[in-house]
A and B are shown apart, each in its own frame.
Chain A
Amino acid sequence: MSDEEHHFESSESGASKTYPQQAGNIRKGGHIVIKNRPCKVVEVSTSKTGKHGHAKCHFVAIDIFTAKKLEDIVPSSHNCDVPHVNRVDYQLIDITEDGFVSLLTDSGGTKDDLKLPTDDALTAQMRSGFDEGKDVVVSVMSSMGEEQICAVKEVGGGK
């Protein structure tokens, strides 16, 4: 492929961010794209074929980044887009003045383009662990071109 010189971490050009799946096969706990947002399905109900036409699946889902509730109704035989959702763990190296984080990548470089998470509890946990000199590992969730820190854990004791 022609994109060899790109870093392995950046988005794979040419590969799609979603894959199709029949609506009837998407279950609670799975993922679905609604209004172009990657979401996690919290409720599915199916209405059988009837006066309203073809059998339909009613999805209630939560945007994985903004936590907003979204819903959609799709004929069960139609294909929906399911987002690829990846989680990668990184070690926290630094928290900058303007709210960005510096993370250690697998290959030894740094990833500096992520902001602190909007979740205050996570941010507080990161800051306290970092300030105490502990090894803090963050999980970064990425999907459809968007990334966010979704979890924090402390590994090992302080220095």
Chain B
Amino acid sequence: MEDRVFSSVHSTVFKESESLEGKCDKIQGYDFNQGVNYPKLMRSMLTTGFQASNLGEAIDVVNQMLDWRLADETIVSEDCSAEEKDPSYRESVKCKIFLGFTSNLVSSGVRDTIRYLVQHHMVDVIVTTTGGVEEDLIKCLAPTFKGDFSLPGAYLRSKGLNRIGNLLVPNDNYCKFEDWIIPIFDEMLKEQKEENVLWTPSKLLARLGKEINNESSYLYWAYKMNIPVFCPGLTDGSLGDMLYFHSFRTSGLIIDVVQDIRAMNGEAVHATPRKTGMIILGGGLPKHHICNANMMRNGADYAVFINTGQEFDGSDSGARPDEAVSWGKIRGSAKTVKVYCDATIAFPLLVAETFATKRDQTCESKT
């Protein structure tokens, strides 16, 4: 009798499980007995679990973005042009990559990772917030410093220091920015009046990239590489303050956002036959703007989100890629990953295992 109870309890607690062997990857972390080997350490992330695995998958997806060629797709429709059927043409057609990021990341050292990508034309379109632009320009005029999250606000205000997380930007930096940018606005206004130039945020940013003329700035490289930088919320930052003050001194500068939305959505719509990929750091405007543009072409083919947002409040910032699929912003067939991680950790590591590694390989094979 006891035996029967025991075996029934036993079979409840120790329910026979379905075997996952061969279906799922085994969890295996990095073994430091192999020594400190960073590439191997990075590759071990995929099987380490939790966000390490998500980062590992994100690395995979980005590598797929970089490896894809039109030649990988079978020629579907008969009404493809002869050029589109040409194999060497198909080998040359790559994925179009949209990169979006918030301004705090440009205040951080991730700015230098972004600059690397732009410098080597590894991304095709950039979307960011106003801070994402001015922090890059200001760093060319004066540096940002490391502080601490716990520095008291009132004390910092009395010292003229602005806190961004655990970074500090002195007021003086913004004064230098003002002194630098106002004459450029004067020039631009002159060109608007005399040469009928109609400025848009992206044209303004290309001009600022040209004027800053500093190799540490990603905006400079975007200008040189002809990579458009879209910033539809251009007035929401120090740059917007400068436009505001400039309008009192010498009014009349017009900045057209309509032209830019044509251009941005055009980047997605006219991307075909290229596939499109989105790499978005943070949430807010850059995340939505890129996803929305891709909706115009029935969804992106690849998406990597790196942010710390949560979906429980229904915010777009915290929304997972699957929510974007419901909107048609990402295709149902797309390869997507969301890495729940501060991009200052995840992004440099991701670039190391994708863009940078491939570039090193290409450079090596050339030499």
Contact = CB atoms under 8 A, between A and B. Distances in A.
Interface in A51-99: 51-54, 56, 71-74
B176 to A, nearest CB: 9
Contact of B174 (A50, A71, A73): A50
Interface string B246-271: 00110000000000000000000000
Interface string B160-196: 1010000000011011011100000000000000000
Contacts of B178: 52-54
Interface in B84-123: none
Q: Chain A, interface size: which category?
A: 10 to 19
Interface string B223-253: 0000000000000011001101100110000
Nearest to A78: B249
B248 A53 contact: no
Contact of A53 (B162, B175, B249): B175
A49 interface: yes
Contact of A72 (B179, B237, B248): B248
A49 B174 CA distance: 9
Q: Chain B, interface size: which category?
A: 10 to 19
Contacts of B249: 74
Contacts of B174: 49-53
Nearest to A54: B175
A23 B174 CA distance: 20
A73 B242 CA distance: 11
Contact of B162 (A51, A54, A71, A72): A51
A72 B245 CA distance: 9
Contacts of B179: 53
Contact of A73 (B172, B177, B248): B248
Nearest to B247: A73
A53 B243 CA distance: 12
Name the residue among B162, B171, B249 with the largest chain A CB count within 10 angstroms.
B171
A27 B341 CA distance: 52
Contact of A71 (B242, B244, B245, B248): B248
Nearest to B172: A49
Contacts of B237: 51
Interface of B: 160, 162, 171-172, 174-175, 177-179, 237-238, 241-242, 244-245, 248-249
Interface of A: 49-54, 56, 71-74
